[in-house]
Structure 1
Amino acid sequence: MTPTRPTLVVGATGTTGSRTATRLLATGHPVRAASRRGTPLSGAEAVRFDWYDPTTHDAALTGADRVHLVPPVGDPDPAAVMLPFLERARSLGVRRAVLLSSSAVPEGGPAVGRVHQALPSLFEEWAVLRPSWFMQNFTGAHLHAATIRESGAFATATGDGRVAYVDADDIAAVAVRALTDEDAPNRDLVLTGPEALTHDEIATILTEVTGRPVAHHRLTVAEVRHRLTEQSGIPPEFAALLADMDHAIATGAESRTTDAVRHLTGRPPGDFRTAVERETALAL
């Protein structure tokens, strides 16, 4: 059943938010596209939204039936702004909430893990999407993609650890089902691609697809933390969190695949090579 009230998509100009909003519109679901600048999205109602400006919250929420939540980027404690927002959402009649989290962050864990833990007590209909790292990290605006374009290399502290990178298109496809299916998942969903790759293997695929050499430089956790803070301007606390995630990958934390994408969408997840070929073609 297609809801007549709009779905609020927070972060509607971002990697997953834009894809989710576009897919919702394509299937006939009304969308309220929220972003800090209120950027227009064809077919959607645009609204200005800032996690840190509560005066923008009611206009975004009023009349909405469901909400797709993308946490504020770079905030080591997003619960401080997200939980009051979600309580307000419930009071204004939002029935279902779908939260974008991470495979690396468990319920009750750091950062968005606290929001994950609170969600079931706030909404009867909910889902938490816990995707692995995005394939688009190597083709979009992420630090890895930027350094590949600048120097033909990217750096991690992941060693020989494996990651089942997931396509942002697949994340959006799952998000749409979690938002619109008659029955909400009411659980967390770990989303991965079909295979777990080392970053050396990723560099090889990028070299083969793009036709230009791409190298993976191995750093220590301390070197990654320093690089993120000194070269990228990331706050020290959040840089430490990201560096620790690299260490977790090195010790095998992300060396897994799941069937969640297939279960929710009815099709297998896309593989890394295909995603890079598609994204590279779109950039030309």
Structure 2
Amino acid sequence: MILVIGGTGTTGRIVAATLAERGHPTRIASRRPSPGGFRFDWYDPATHPEALGGVRAIYAIPPVGEVDPAPIMLPFLDRARSAGVRRVVLLSSSAIGPAEHGLGLVHARLGELFPEWAVLRPSWFMENFVSEQPHAVSARDHGEIVSATGAGRVGFVDPADIAEVAVRALTDPTSHNIDHVITGPEALSYDEIAAVLSEVSGRSVKHRAVDAAELAARHSANGVPPDFAHFLASLDTEIGAGAEDRTTSTVADVTGRPPRSFRDFCRDRLRGDSASA
């Protein structure tokens, strides 16, 4: 049995569906489960025992909006180890490596807790520009995307590529026991992202550069907790300094196929918008 925490989210739902298609017993857990799913809340330990029953592997998505999830996640992972879980695949971020605090501490402890593990460290999601996330809403409603990245570039990645790496890490006979930095095939600036969105959707989209303070205020206005809003804004300034200007071969190495480009991703997801423009 493989437990997919956050199994109704962006990558979790694809992971869960792919596991089921390939014949792996799968348990989908989330705070608001679909029919047949399990209720799981990181902040409610009473929901943990039922989710863990009979589980041998976990896809773990951290609690959303939590700057320091280690105090919440590590007690659960200790409990999972005691319950017989052998393999855990943690969804982290390319911006966060192993560290002594935050999600980096969970990363650092994973190999100590479990004999089989992997940490997925994807770059920023292509999904952010086509779903109901702030960038997508701003592009659609105001014709602009707003960032504090300046001319910095990012190896934006398709969530389906992340999910395929996750499925391999969960089910390969030999555990990966490594952290995978996952990117798309090219690093793009937000100006270039805006140009692709304009081309594919048929609607003019521009990139407006702001400073980190203004960006944090925008995040807060969209309901993001203040500490996490400032954290997200700081990641943009790091992008501006070149922290995400890279691509990796992880998707091809793990799955045997190349990652999808941003243009192809948008053509698939925005085709209807383009036709009606």
TM-score, normalization by structure 1? 0.94
Gaps of 5+ in 1: 1-5
* Alpha-carbon distance in 2 for matches of 1:26, 1:198: 36
* Alpha-carbon distance in 2 for matches of 1:213, 1:22: 35
* Alpha-carbon distance in 1 for matches of 2:261, 2:18: 20
**Selected match of 2:12 from 6, 14, 17:** 17
* Alpha-carbon distance in 1 for matches of 2:22, 2:181: 24
Equivalent pair of 1:76/1:110 in contact (CA under 8 Å)? no
Alignment match, 1:3: none
* Alpha-carbon distance in 1 for matches of 2:219, 2:243: 21
Aligned-residue offset at 1:282:
7.0
Alignment of 1:78-227 (within 5 A): 78-108=69-99, 111-227=102-218
Task: Indicate the larger mover: 126-135 or 75-84.
Answer: 75-84
The reply to whether residue 70 of structure 1 matches residue 61 of structure 2 is yes
Alignment match, 2:247: 257
Task: Indicate the larger mover: 233-242 or 115-124.
Answer: 233-242
* Alpha-carbon distance in 2 for matches of 1:8, 1:99: 12
The reply to whether residue 33 of structure 1 matches residue 42 of structure 2 is no
Alignment match, 1:278: 268
C-alpha RMSD of the superposition: 1.3
AA in 2 matched with 1:204: A
Equivalent pair of 1:225/1:239 in contact (CA under 8 Å)? yes
Gaps of 5+ in 2: none
Percent identity over the alignment? 53
Q: Relative to structure 1, is the Cα distance of residues 251 and 51 closer, same or farther in structure 2, using a 3 angstrom cutoff?
A: same
* Alpha-carbon distance in 2 for matches of 1:233, 1:167: 25
Aligned-residue offset at 1:238:
0.8
AA in 2 matched with 1:66: A
Equivalent pair of 2:8/2:33 in contact (CA under 8 Å)? no
* Alpha-carbon distance in 1 for matches of 2:158, 2:229: 24
Can you list the C-alpha shifts for 1:98-120, whole angstroms capped at 9, x where unaligned? 00000001111653111101101
**Number of aligned pairs?**
274
* Alpha-carbon distance in 1 for matches of 2:184, 2:101: 24
AA in 1 matched with 2:17: T
Task: Indicate the larger mover: 149-158 or 187-196.
Answer: 149-158
AA in 2 matched with 1:174: V
Aligned-residue offset at 1:278:
1.0
Aligned-residue offset at 1:222:
1.2
Alignment match, 2:48: 57
Aligned-residue offset at 1:233:
2.0
Equivalent pair of 1:132/1:166 in contact (CA under 8 Å)? yes
Aligned-residue offset at 1:81:
0.9
* Alpha-carbon distance in 2 for matches of 1:188, 1:141: 29
Can you list the C-alpha shifts for 1:76-104, whole angstroms capped at 9, x where unaligned? 11111100000000000111000000000
The reply to whether residue 228 of structure 1 matches residue 224 of structure 2 is no
* Equivalent position SS for 2:102: coil
Can you list the C-alpha shifts for 1:176-209, whole angstroms capped at 9, x where unaligned? 0000000111010000000000000000000000
Aligned-residue offset at 1:261:
0.6
Aligned-residue offset at 1:46:
1.4
Aligned-residue offset at 1:234:
1.3
